[in-house]
Structure 1
Amino acid sequence: MNLKILNLLARSITVELEGDTPYEREQYEVWINGTCVKTDTKMVLLLRDLKPATKYELALKQDGQSIAETTFVTEEESYTLNVRQFRAKGDGITDDTQALQAAILCCPPKGRVFIPKGTYKFRNLFLKSNIVLELGKGAVLSAYSERDKFPVLPGTIESYDGESEYNLGSWEGNPLDSMASILTGIDLEHVVICGEGTIDGGGNFDVWWVAGVNQNPPYRPRMMFFNRCKDIIIEGITIQNSPSWNLHPYFSEDIKIYGITLLSPDSSHNTDGIDPESCTNVDIAGVHFSVGDDCIAIKSGKIYMGRKHKKPCRNINIRHCFMERGHGAVTIGSEIAGGVKDVLVSCCKFYHTDRGLRIKTRRGRGKDSIIDGIVFDRIVMDEVKSPFVVNCFYFCDPDGRTEYVGTQEKLPVDERTPSVKSLHFKNIVCKNAHHTGVCIYGLPEQKIESIVMENIDISYSSEATKGIAAMMLACEPTSRLGIFARNVKSLVLENVNLHNAVKEYDIKEVARVN
């Protein structure tokens, strides 16, 4: 077995065990310089408490035999700034915002801000470039939930000459005034947030998740918001109770997220796990999701941002993740006016999500909204109600239920018409499905170009419930329906097996079925 080094810091290393196992494998021992330091089961392994600029030999063993080995030298570190030296109390009572912020602002390049064991109450923090923010074991950053404690990021600020604008705030794909997030980064590079501690966003049903809270700006903070940033690494920590989306990289590149845990109550509102928006080169591995909305939602803005910037989300790699109790495991859209290209999801486990793959687009997203190069490979799903949903009639936004968005009649193709090109699903096992195994609704005027499904096995729960697979006006409730498809140019079904389906196929307006 080979080990791939994903990330190497001064005091930690993250490695990936190569293989098809979704998230965990049989237990193995971890040896450092000839000493067994722990046992683990994860396909993405994080090791802590190393020393800077030091050579190590790493070996993984089972039954006394080495199964993988590598050597490495940790990075250099300039200084460690302990937040207790800046008068942070960590007593769960004192407002530690100023002490925490002072430590961040004072940290030199290649330095580390260290947060030791304790509970640190704070409002929100702004990050800066070239630092490591590490939460030690037992450390909790606990955010206040009072709305008036949060500064506001304006959606757009006009330039002096009135010809350009500066975009700071964002809400669901539009440049709108929003509260600064729990951790905010603007125009940063080379930032690491890591450790064994927890960030608690203070999310609750009285303030952040109450019905109607999104009606007026400024909109809710996210847990982390990175606007126009580069080389951001988030690893190891636990993130819980975010007021809205957990991690929101925005017009950013080279984002790495490894081995973290994202937790929100099942019924919390808009608590997506990771939402890269108009980002390039996003690597997500070994993450455990249990959230109240989509686990991962890949986006590129609503109409204004998509047309203005024409920046797709592209080159997204997701693997060895465990996604449970979300609306969708991996979702593309619906704020997708700039398009999404080249996404690989592999070796993951989806459990008890409403949908596995979920594509959400609609008329009005525009001609730049192109979905292409989407690949799902070696996925295991269990108790996923509708494993595959491709919906080109998603009824979001104020006009979502209008005749223009919802009609099944063929309309003229114009600048408002989105497109879906290539989708490829292979080597996937879906157990205990409920509503519809495969639900595909393309536009009649802009049919989905190509869907390939090979080596797919779908079986249905003996207690399957009835429900709606796609959030659109024309979708009727189903239970144990096999493959439903409309408006596809080429649909390839190779070694696709359906077990216990009430009706195996309902396919119309598909030009070619192989």
Structure 2
Amino acid sequence: MLFVPSGRWLTGSFNLTSHITLFLDKDAVILASQDPSDWQVVDPLPSYGQGVDLPGRRYMSLINGHMLHDVIITGDNGTIDGQGLVWWDRYNSNSLEHSRPHLIEFVSSENVFVSNLTFLNAPAYTIHSVYSRNVYIHNVTANTSPESPYTVGIVPDSSENVCIQDSTINMGYDAISLKSGWDEYGISYARPTANVEIRNVYLGAASGSSISFGSEMSGGISDVEVSNAHIYNSLTGIAFRTTKGRGGYMKEIDISNIHMVNVGTAFLANGSFGTHPDSGFDENAFPLVSHIRLHDIVGENISIAGDFFGTKESPFTSIILSNISLSIKNSDSPADSWQCSYVDGSSDSVVPEPCPELKSFDSDYGRAEAL
């Protein structure tokens, strides 16, 4: 065990080992250095090909695990503060030398447990699990400023058997974002994100989505269950993002028992979203988006119910909506609450009534129930 007592402890990036428990005592605060020289610079992830913020290498995360197993990061509600303002300013002023670091990152690791901690001011992602399995995140709080650029809470990335529960996350961009690689690099690496459970969470996303899939999803995302989520003060509630050249798939996703309050767009599925790492992507790598079920959802003070924009080459199919009731701000024109193109599915008991492509209730729903 590495025990961190009460007090404020300044550090640059460091590595963990297998079979370790990092424990933060009550009132213990780990502070991330704001000096870039205290952060190691490492190669980009192979499923991305380059740093996410800009081409080239990236700063190593504050707390790192590489090819580890049986690791616990926990405490008596201690705090890990990334002091991200300096990184956000560098991002906004285009003065970064390398892509920003995250707070915690596990690479090619298994049996990872994170619990009972508060995370503040991540430079980019708060918790990033990549090429990992058996990751359990429980009872954590993660916050950044609403103005922080493209900060994300928890990111299961090309990882399997992930559980996120009983946590509160408020971020500048996305609260929880599932990913699996970027264009030709993610397709080649071929490591999906699969078997993910998200439950009993409170999520806010000032300029992004409380729960997002993609847009970097070239290795595939499947078999995801989200339940009992409270979504509030978010630009978008639930988003599926991809674009031509991504390849991959998003399928077998079930989202239920959601309560939304003060959300711009409740549901977004956009087939023309995101950028490419370079010009090497395959223009004919069309992503598959299919078998997504949204049900038992209530929303208050919602601006737009749903935008579903597939592509002509690869329409979104088997989108199933049921038992959804959304209170729209401008209730005088409910027809404007949904926009659809190149999408096919069905619905039952949805208010306001969705667009024609999603209105029909047919045997597709029964097949989705059986999946």
Q: Confirm whether residue 493 of structure 1 aligns to residue 361 of structure 2.
A: no
8 Å Cα contact 1:174-1:304 kept in structure 2: no
1:139-168 CA-to-partner distances (Å, cap 9, x unmatched) read 000111111221111237xxxxxxxxx889
Matched residues in 1 for 2:57 and 2:141: separation? 29
Runs of 4+ in 1 over 6 A off after TM superposition: 166-170
Matches within 5 A, 1:436-475: 436-461=304-329
- Deviation of 1:171 (Å): 3.1
The 5-angstrom pairing of residues 266-305 of structure 1 reads: 266-305=146-185
| DSSP-derived class of the 1:287 partner | strand
1:350 maps to what in 2?
Answer: 231
The aligned counterpart of 1:429 is 298
Contact 2:170 2:204 in 1 (8 A): yes
Are 2:219 and 1:330 aligned?
no
* TM-score normalised by the chain length of structure 2: 0.89
The SS at the match of 1:390 is strand
**One-letter amino acid of the counterpart of residue 120, structure 2:** Q
CA distance, structure 2, for counterparts of residue 170 and residue 192 of structure 1: 29
Quote the residue 2:271 is aligned against: 392
What per-residue deviation string (whole Å, max 9, x for no partner) do you get for residues 391-411 of structure 1? 0011434789xxxx9xxxxxx
Q: Which residue of 1 aligns with 2:52?
A: 172
How far apart, CA to CA, are the structure 2 residues paired with 1:221 and 1:173? 10
- Maintained 8 Å contact 2:244/2:284: no
SS at match of 1:307: helix
Partner of 1:199: 80
Measure the CA separation in 2 of the matches of 1:230 and 1:170: 24
The corresponding residue for 1:468 is none
Gaps of 5+ in 2: 362-371
User: Is 2:96 the counterpart of 1:241?
Assistant: no
The equivalent position to 1:133 in structure 2, one of 5, 14, 22, is: 22
Alignment-mate amino acid for residue 228 of structure 1: S
Aligned to 1:319: 199
Give the equivalent residue in structure 2 for 1:218. 98
TM-superposition CA deviations, 1:197-247 (whole Å, max 9, x none): 00011111x443444466765211110111111111000100001111111
Instruction: Give yes or no for contact 1:319–1:348 (8 Å, CA) kept in 2.
Output: yes
Matched to 1:497, the amino acid is V
The residue correspondences of 1:21-32 to structure 2 (distance < 5 A) are: none
Partner Cα separation in structure 2 for residue 167 and residue 424 of structure 1: 28
Shift of 1:129: 0.5
Matched, 1:118 2:36: no
Structure 2 CA distance, aligned partners of 1:252 and 1:357?
Answer: 24
- Provide closer, same or farther for how the CA distance between residues 142 and 182 of structure 1 changes in structure 2, counting only shifts above 3 A: same
Alpha-carbon deviation of 1:315?
A: 0.6
- Aligned residue-pair number: 358
SS of corresponding position for 1:308: helix
* Alignment check: 8 A CA contact 2:241 2:274 kept: no
Supply the distance in 2 between the matched residues of 1:460 and 1:184 (Cα, whole angstroms): 44
AA aligned to 1:306 is: G
User: Which letter maps to 1:321?
Assistant: V
Structure 1 residues 276-299: Cα deviation after superposition (integer angstroms, max 9, x where no partner): 110001100011011111001100
Counterpart pick for 1:362 among 220, 243, 252: 243
| 1:113 CA displacement | 1.7
Alpha-carbon distance in 2 for matches of 1:265, 1:480 = 35
Superposed counterparts of 1:84-95, under 5 Å: none
CA contact (8 A) 1:173 1:305 kept: no
Question: For residue 268 of structure 1, what is the amino acid of its counterpart?
Answer: S
| Alignment partner of 2:42 out of 144, 153, 164 | 153
Aligned partner letter, 2:316: I
The one-letter code sitting in structure 2 at the alignment partner of 1:492 is: S
Residue 117 of structure 1 and its aligned partner are, at CA, apart by 0.7
| 8 Å contact from structure 2 (residues 163, 196) kept in 1 | yes
Secondary structure of residue in 1 paired with 2:186: helix
**What's the offset of the Cα at 1:460?**
1.5
In 1: Cα distance, 2:54 partner to 2:67 partner: 19
- 1:253 maps onto 2:133 in alignment: yes
Structure 1 residue 444, shift from structure 2 partner? 1.4
Q: Distance in 1 between matches of 2:47 and 2:314?
A: 33
Task: Give 2:338's aligned residue.
Answer: 483
2:25 matched to 1:144?
no
Tell me which residue corresponds to 1:307.
187
Helix, strand or coil for the counterpart of 2:210? strand
Rounded to whole Å, the distance in 1 between the matches of 2:119 and 2:283 is 43
The answer for unaligned runs of 5 or more in structure 1 is 1-111, 157-165, 406-412, 465-477, 499-503
Letter in 2 for 1:230: E
Alpha carbon RMSD of aligned pairs, Å? 2.7
Tell me the distance in 2 between the aligned counterparts of 1:214 and 1:316: 35
Give the conservation status (yes or no) of the 8 Å contact 2:52–2:99: no
Could you list the per-position Cα deviations for residues 82-104 of structure 1 after superposition, in whole angstroms to 9, with x for gaps in the alignment? xxxxxxxxxxxxxxxxxxxxxxx
TM-aligned CA distance change 1:210 to 1:461, over 3 Å: farther
Q: For residues 13-39 of structure 1, what are the alpha-carbon distances to aligned partners after superposition, in whole Å with 9 as ceiling and x for unaligned?
A: xxxxxxxxxxxxxxxxxxxxxxxxxxx
* Residue aligned with 1:286, SS: strand
Shift of 1:422: 0.7
From the two aligned structures, give the one with the greater strand fraction.
Answer: 2
Amino acid at match of 1:343: V
1:513 is the counterpart of 2:360 = yes
The 2-side partners of 1:184 and 1:176 are apart by 20
Aligned with 1:249: secondary structure? strand
Q: Percentage identity across aligned positions?
A: 27
